[in-house]
């Protein structure tokens, strides 16, 4: 069989990046942003089946379960990626995701959905951000910031496109039919993964001389902290606290913005656009932040991201107080852009501060902590809404958490010169 793919790792890594981008677009878009547009229909359907109103906190618990499941399985997925490679994990995740959506179309209770979301969280571990960041960090050295930024833009692409795509599908069939249709999407990606994904440059038929150069230095793949050493580092806990607060903030916002806009009497397509706006803002933030971090320093870009996200939250709070729709849209754009920058920097700093020797395990532990925050975000926001009958209080809490994130980021010790030298 003629192999049409390049064998030079400096060229092949961009193919790896493209496939990882596509994979993360699908997994995140299906399991997170794409599900928000179904919520009204699901609440109506389940209320008819049970004869009781479905509360927002009860529905949003499924989002929390997804993220908490990711937290539980994240460490094991990271360790598995270090030991057996990412390819097998990715393919397994897509198969599970397909089954999840097929089962979703059959679900008749929240408890059944909760079980499905446990498996969706597992999918995010083995086919989502965690394993893909590990893969890209192995393939990219000098251009790692740019590569991770491009990769993570896939999360925003998926979460931005799938709400629109799913809203279109809902105009053609009911939500159960659409779920069944969506179960086919993960299966389409599997052949591409099998043909293209390599666990590292060593899987290509290249000599060590050909691989080693200023752009890619395989020897640097073995350095860094062990998990035990990382846990003793102040930077580890500051980074984890910042991740906890910001993951709470972004999942709380994205998990409720569709319902918030519908409550303000926007039609479903416009409400879905609000969800998309956050993620497309994130797309921009993720694309530019990695490269900007390489040029202007990681700490400056990190603080800028937190600051932009905070001002976005303030605009939304002011919009709720003064009933100004313009503030909502400005706030959503700023919120997403700031988060995009933060998201990239969290992954980049994990690899840069602690190295690659135990990256999977270290990311797995950070994943436990940040997804705890991410899971609490939509659930507790729903709870506060049910208690106060409004979004003002939960969104003020988001702003407070972002202040804590800014302080944590300010306390991080980051030596950009040392990071470049270690590469």
Mean pLDDT of 82-91: 85
pTM of the model: 0.73
pLDDT value at position 245?
94
Q: Phi, psi (5° rounding) for residue 193?
A: -65, -45
Q: Whole-angstrom distance between the N-terminal and C-terminal Cα of the chain? A: 37
Tokens of 395: 């969104």
The answer to whether residue 83 is domain-embedded is: yes
What burial letters (b/e) apply to 45-62, b meaning 16+ CB within 10 Å?
bbeeeeeeebebbbbbbb
Q: pLDDT band at 358, cuts 50/70/90?
A: confident
The answer to whether residue 35 is domain-embedded is: yes
Tell me how far CA of residue 229 lies from CA of 287, 364, 421, in angstroms: 31, 15, 20
The answer to whether residue 148 is domain-embedded is: yes
pLDDT value at position 419?
67
Q: Residue 247: which H helix or E strand, with range?
A: helix 234-263
- 265 vs 406, which has greater pLDDT? 406
The answer to whether residue 363 is domain-embedded is: yes
SS3 for 8?
Answer: coil
Tokens of 163: 């709400």
Query: Is 418 a residue whose pLDDT tops 90?
Result: no
pLDDT value at position 422?
62
Mean pLDDT of 273-288: 82
pLDDT value at position 219?
41
The answer to whether residue 416 is domain-embedded is: yes
The answer to whether residue 1 is domain-embedded is: no
Number of domains composing the chain: 1
The answer to whether residue 371 is domain-embedded is: yes
Q: Name 224's bridge partners.
A: 355
Mean pLDDT of 189-218: 68
Could you give the percent of the chain with pLDDT greater than 70? Answer: 93
Q: Name 306's bridge partners.
A: none
* Rounded CA separation 131/146 (Å): 17
Question: Of 187, 305, 158, 197, which is closest to residue 242 (Cα–Cα)?
Answer: 305
The answer to whether residue 204 is domain-embedded is: no
Query: Is 369 a residue whose pLDDT tops 60?
Result: yes
Q: Per residue in 87-114, pLDDT tens?
A: 889 999 999 999 999 999 999 889 999 9
pLDDT value at position 37?
84
- Other Cβ atoms within 10 Å of 146 Cβ, number: 21
The secondary structure of 344-378 as a DSSP string is HHHHHHHHHHHBSTTHHHHHHHHHHHHHHHHHHHH
Q: Which of 100-109, 259-268, 333-342, 375-384 has the lowest mean pLDDT?
A: 259-268
**Average pLDDT taken over every residue of the chain:** 84
pLDDT value at position 423?
57
Mean pLDDT of 277-295: 82
pLDDT value at position 2?
46
For residue 386, the enclosing domain spans 9-199+215-422
pLDDT value at position 222?
52
CATH number assigned to the domain comprising residue 25: 1.20.1250.20
Q: pLDDT band at 223, cuts 50/70/90?
A: low
Could you give the percent of the chain with pLDDT greater than 90? Answer: 30
């Amino acid at each position: 069989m003629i192999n049409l793919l390049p064998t030079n790792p400096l060229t092949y890594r961009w193919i790896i990046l493209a496939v990882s981008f596509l994979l993360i677009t699908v997994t995140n878009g299906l399991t997170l942003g794409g599900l928000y547009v179904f919520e009204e229909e699901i609440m109506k359907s389940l209320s008819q089946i049970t004869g009781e109103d479905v509360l927002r906190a009860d529905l949003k618990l499924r989002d929390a379960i997804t993220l908490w499941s990711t937290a539980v399985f994240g460490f094991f997925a990271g360790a598995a990626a270090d030991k057996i490679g990412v390819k097998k994990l990715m393919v397994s995740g897509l198969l599970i995701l397909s089954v999840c959506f097929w089962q979703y179309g059959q679900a008749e209770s929240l408890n059944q959905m909760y079980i499905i979301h446990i498996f969706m969280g597992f999918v995010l571990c083995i086919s989502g951000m965690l394993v893909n960041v590990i893969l890209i960090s192995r393939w990219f050295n000098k251009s790692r910031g740019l590569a991770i930024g491009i990769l993570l833009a896939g999360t925003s692409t998926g979460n931005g496109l799938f709400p629109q795509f799913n809203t279109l599908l809902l105009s053609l069939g009911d939500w159960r039919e659409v779920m069944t249709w969506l179960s086919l999407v993960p299966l389409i990606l599997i052949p591409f993964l099998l043909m293209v994904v390599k666990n590292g440059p060593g899987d290509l038929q290249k000599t060590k001389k050909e691989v080693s150069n200023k752009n890619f230095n395989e020897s640097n793949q073995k350095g860094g902290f062990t998990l035990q050493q990382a846990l003793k580092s102040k930077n580890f806990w500051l980074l984890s606290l910042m991740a906890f607060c910001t993951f709470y903030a972004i999942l709380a916002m994205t998990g409720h913005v569709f319902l918030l806009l519908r409550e303000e009497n926007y039609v479903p397509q416009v409400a879905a656009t609000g969800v998309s706006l956050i993620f497309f803002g994130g797309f921009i933030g993720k694309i530019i932040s990695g490269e900007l971090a390489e040029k202007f320093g990681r700490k400056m870009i990190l603080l800028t991201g937190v600051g932009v996200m905070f001002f976005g939250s303030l605009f939304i709070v002011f919009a709720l107080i003064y009933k100004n729709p313009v503030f909502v849209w400005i706030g959503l754009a700023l919120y997403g852009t700031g988060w995009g920058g933060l998201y990239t920097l969290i992954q980049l700093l994990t690899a840069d501060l602690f190295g690659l020797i135990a990256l999977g395990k270290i990311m797995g532990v950070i994943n436990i902590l940040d997804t705890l925050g991410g899971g609490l975000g939509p659930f507790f926001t729903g709870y506060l809404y049910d208690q106060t009958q409004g979004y003002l209080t939960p969104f003020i809490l988001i702003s407070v958490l972002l202040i804590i994130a800014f302080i944590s980021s300010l306390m991080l010790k980051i030596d950009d010169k040392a990071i470049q030298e270690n590469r």
